[in-house]
Amino acid sequence: MAVQQGSGSEARAHSARTVGMHAIETFMLHYGYIALFLFALLESACIPIPSEVTFGLGGALCSSAFFSDGQHHDAEHLAIWAVIVVGIVGSLVGSLIAYAVGRTLGRSVVDKYGKYVLLSHADLDKSEAWFAKRGGVTVLVGRVVPLVRTFISLPAGIAEMNPVSFSILTTLGVSVWVSVLTVVGYNAADTYQSTVKGFGYAGYIVGAIVAVVLVVFYVHRFKAVKGSHRAPKHGKP
């Protein structure tokens, strides 16, 4: 029974993802560049929309091979340079929105609610020091790591990373990510679905690794906070 329940959960998760992908594809096919810009913006603003679908399909829509079966005759034929430019601009705008939210609201929210997720003002100070020393590498690399790239702008804003440096490094990172996915989608237009699935599986693996790292972090934080509460206070027996 347990195995059947697990299989059912996996099936429901797969079905939900399939429905989500179909909705994204349908919107892309009908609205072209507008949909591309919107999805790129939302994904970079902490909304986990699969960019392999957005830019993979965007690249496929630039290839005549995608239209050769006659099933997508009503879709707009896109230009590969325009897909890349629109994707970069949308990703940058979304990143700046998330950065601004983190910079303006992040500290006050953590100060008020951080205790519920084991975060404190001291942790923000450490984060700010980290971004001051390694923020450039963190943002640049984070932009090409699935899942991480969706949320990296928020901690960068909370840590008050230099906005000019953030914008430049974000542009460089998203340019690589958007260009690679678009070119892959273009070259694999006739096998688009299987290519997207391959990217999706890779994303699952990276997401699982990130989840494990987060669990380890919170276990460590829980033990540290619990230990500090048990430590004897100065001046008290």
For the chain, give the percent of residues with pLDDT over 90.
27
106-122 tens-digit pLDDT: 777 766 665 555 566 66
Q: Give the separation between CA 67 and CA 191, rounded to whole angstroms.
A: 12
Instruction: Please give the full DSSP string across 19-87, using - where no structure is assigned.
Output: HHHHHHHHHHHHHHHHHHHHHHHHHHTT----HHHHHHHHHHTTSHHHHTTSTTTTS----HHHHHHHH
Q: What is the mean pLDDT of the chain?
A: 77
Taking each continuous run of H as one helix and of E as one strand, the counts in the chain are 9, 0
| 189-199: burial string, b at 16+ Cβ within 10 Å, e else | beebeebbeeb
Contact 131, 138 (CB under 8 A): yes
State both tokens at 78. 């896109």
pLDDT of 75: 74
| 180 class by beta-carbon count within 10 Å (0-12 exposed, 13-18 middle, 19+ buried) | middle
23-80 tens-digit pLDDT: 888 888 889 999 999 999 999 998 888 888 889 889 989 988 877 766 666 777 899 9
Q: Give the separation between CA 121 and CA 207, rounded to whole angstroms.
A: 27
